[in-house]
Amino acid sequence: MTALQQPSPVKPANTRRKQKQSQRTVGRQLRPVLLLFAVTGLLLGGLGSRLAYLQLAKGDRNRQLAENNRIRILPKLPVRGLLLDRKGRIIADSRLSHSLFIWPLAQTSERWPETVQLLAEILEIPTEEIQTKVEQAEPNSPTLVRIARNLTPAQITAIEEYSIDLDGVEIDAEPIRSYPHGTLAAHVVGYTGEITSEELDALRERGYRLGDVIGRMGVERGFESQLRGEWGGQQVEVDGSGRIVRILGEKQARAGLNISLTLDLDVQRAAEAALDDRRGAIVAIDPHSGGILAMVSHPTFDPNIFSTRITHETWEALQSQGNPFINRAVRGYPPGSTFKVVTAIAGMESGKYPPGTILNTYGVINLGGMLMPAWNGAGFGPLGYEGALQWSSNTFFGQVAVGVGGVTLIDWSRRLGFGVSTGVELAEESSGLIADDEWKRERFNDWGWTIGDTANMSIGQGFTLTTPLQVAVLFAIPANGGYLVRAHFLKDERPADAWRKSLDLNSANVATVQRGLRQVVTAGTGQALAVPHLPPTAGKSGTAEAPPGETHAWFGAYAPYDKPEIVVVAFAEHSGGGGGSVAAPMVREVLETYFDVKPPQ
């Protein structure tokens, strides 16, 4: 018999409901986990993307920022080259002083506003000036920015006392320009100053950087490329507090070259004493090479004041003294009768009025509608070139100039060094003015050159402007026998021929001018130089009308007459006196020092 099969047991309904509930509960429990994994994945993906962006796209910049926080550069300003006179005596050197620097990163500090305010009070400068200097550098620059130079002991002490409150501020020693003779030769030497942001944009390609010091006037500017030297510095690692941990590298600053000048401090000092408080200039040169032995301009200034910050009040006080920063030795003025040397050479070299020419002179003469008077009101009768120079005859030289014509006179004026730069290493030099027909038509409504203009020019008046240095170059021509020298301050070993060129003048014409200039001193308007303790001297006076002020006084001379060693030109601006009475005695004082002689008691 077949066993009976038992039916399968049937689960109750409630049991089935429990199983379904259990399955739903497990699903709900997995959802938070899955959601957590999803959010984590998104976060990790975002962080990974950000890291990839920072490392790949911005990696170089971020590495640089990190380096700048850890690595810093301590720049070292080069020592500027010395300026020496012809005998090796120091005219300009450098001394150590203390300067205040700020790290540009200090701007990110929460205490930056307090730091700026405290520094402004200690240094006595506006907060805006400090902020402007710091902003000239990149915000994350690792290089110090100079804020103030030549700190006083009191300022250094105050900064040290408040060092805890001055984040990113440092004091360091650096060279600063010094002029041991003060105002002596100030216009020759010039001064230096810290480079501006505008100048930096133009000079960056030439190796200049923020904080550089450059020459701003005189030979400091003229020899800037030789004097400046090359920056050095240290690359250092710092900790979180900004303290130096170790030096990573160092480059020694290279000092600038020393420059020897043709200037003679003894002659310079004598020229300044001779000019005294008069407004004007004195120039002394070597007639064979053009080397400048002395150059004085008054009023003057002390270049040491530029070694620190110049306040507005200081600047105004300097300017009130009568434009002391104008170098009158290289500024144009009407030359008066010193110009008659040009007229004489033009007349003889033209061939129309050779050396033996004799002309009648008059109390007054009509030249092209212009009445030209003699300074004595009567004239001097018949005169040759020697006598006309001796007595400074206006009517003689007026006739010569009109006879040769304005074109010829203008041409010789320029050949003899007027209307162009002398070549001296001074950016302040004016070329003066030798006007012509084209120049006049441009400025006077097409009114051209006249005979009266030529006559006026013949005696150094009218439109003609020359500098005292140009007049010195002119007097060197008869002194050296007919060469045009290039005025200069650089002392080198080259022969005189390297600094001059022949004008190919007729030797008889040169000799005629030489004799005339000698007669000026022996028997004419320059007898203030006819003294027994000086070597024989030759020269020429000049008195120039210069409205609206009083007349200018000139005198140019060279000595010894038979073998010249020195040319001296003195100029007194609006002195009101004659060249022979005002300027000639100044020339005499300079010659006495040069030849080391003293007037008898």
- pLDDT tens sequence across 324-373: 999 999 999 999 999 999 999 999 999 999 999 999 999 999 998 889 99
Cis peptide before 532 (omega within 30 of 0): no
Residue type for position 259: I
CA distances from 246 to 71, 174, 242 (A): 10, 21, 12
In this structure, how many other beta carbons lie within 10 angstroms of the beta carbon of residue 203?
15
Give the pLDDT confidence score for residue 4 in this predicted structure: 41
pTM of the model: 0.85
Question: Is a pLDDT exceeding 70 seen at residue 53?
Answer: no
Tens-place pLDDT, residues 190-249: 999 988 888 888 898 888 888 889 999 999 999 999 999 988 877 767 665 556 667 677
pLDDT value at 601 more than 60: yes
The Cα–Cα gap between 436 and 425 comes to 27
Q: Which residues contact 81 (CB under 8 A, 6 or more apart)?
A: 223, 226, 227, 228, 229, 255, 256, 257, 258, 259
Q: Which helix (H) or strand (E) holds 361?
A: strand 359-361
Instruction: Pick the catalytic residue from 297, 337, 413, 575.
Output: 337
> Mean of the pLDDT values across residues 452-457?
96
Convert the pLDDT of each residue in 65-118 to its tens digit.
Answer: 445 556 767 778 889 999 999 999 999 999 999 999 998 888 888 889 999 999
Q: Is the model more confident about 149 or about 139?
A: 149
Binning pLDDT at 50, 70 and 90, where does residue 45 land?
A: low
Cα–Cα dist 48/239, whole Å: 30
Peptide bond connecting 299 to the previous residue in cis, omega within 30 degrees of 0: yes
pLDDT of residue 595: 98
Angle, helices 406-415/451-458, rounded to nearest 10 degrees: 40
Which domains does the chain possess? 70-260 (3.90.1310.10), 265-594 (3.40.710.10)
Angle between helices 507-523 and 340-349 (to 10 degrees): 150
Q: Is 541 a catalytic residue?
A: no
- Cβ within 8 Å of residue 89, ≥6 positions away: 265
Distance, CA of 538 to CA of 556 (rounded, Å): 8
Q: At residue 10, does pLDDT exceed 90? A: no
Q: Quote the crossing angle between the two packed helices 265-275 and 584-594, to the nearest 10°.
A: 160
Dist. CA 285–CA 295, nearest whole Å: 9
Can you say how many angstroms the Cα of residue 587 is from the centroid of all Cα atoms in its chain?
28
- Asked if the model's pLDDT at residue 52 lies above 80, the reply is no
38-57 mean pLDDT: 60
Answer whether residue 19 shows pLDDT above 90: no
Whether omega before 560 lies within 30 degrees of 0, making that bond cis, reads yes
Q: pLDDT band for 121, please (50, 70, 90 cuts).
A: very high
Q: What pLDDT digit, counting tens, does each position of 477-496 carry?
A: 999 999 999 999 999 989 99
Residue indicated by tokens 């200090």: 106
